[in-house]
Amino acid sequence: MMHTTVGWHVELEFMEDEQHTKAAAMVRLPDGTEVRGHGHASRHQTDSNQPRVGEEIAGARALDQIARQLLSKAHGEIDQASGRTSHPIHM
């Protein structure tokens, strides 16, 4: 049995100020497709300033968008190849 190792390149960038964190994520697939997602986090004024937490929340939301797009893309490819409608798993 042959095993194939495949890697995906993922980039995450953050823009922050005292109250907000924005994340932009991009994954580059082996076929050259780039899938992008964006996320946002806001710090409540009574919370302590913890930039890492804002990055984790905004980053997770951006990656969640990418995950949903990848599921949709995969199901479209299944449908095209099989000639039937697949049933996506909802996250």
Contact 35, 73 (CB under 8 A): yes
Segments forming the whole domain that contains residue 64: 10-81
Collapse the DSSP code of 56 into the 3-class scheme (helix H, G, I; strand E, B; otherwise coil) and give the result: helix
Q: How far is residue 64's CA from residue 60's CA, in Å, rounded to a whole number?
A: 6
CATH code for the domain in which residue 45 is found? 3.30.160.240
Half-sphere exposure of 77 (CA within 13 A, CB side): 6
φ, ψ for residue 78 (rounded to 5)? -60, -45
Contact 25, 38 (CB under 8 A): yes
**How many domains does the chain fold into?**
1
Give me the mean pLDDT over the 5-25 stretch: 93
Residue 87 lies in a domain: no
Residue 76 lies in a domain: yes
pLDDT of residue 90: 63
Give me the mean pLDDT over the 1-30 stretch: 91
Query: Residue with structure tokens 């194939």?
Result: 4
Query: Residue with structure tokens 């994954």?
Result: 27
**pTM: predicted TM-score of the whole model, two decimal places:** 0.83
Each residue's pLDDT tens digit, 17-65: 989 999 999 999 988 899 999 999 999 888 888 889 999 999 999 999 9
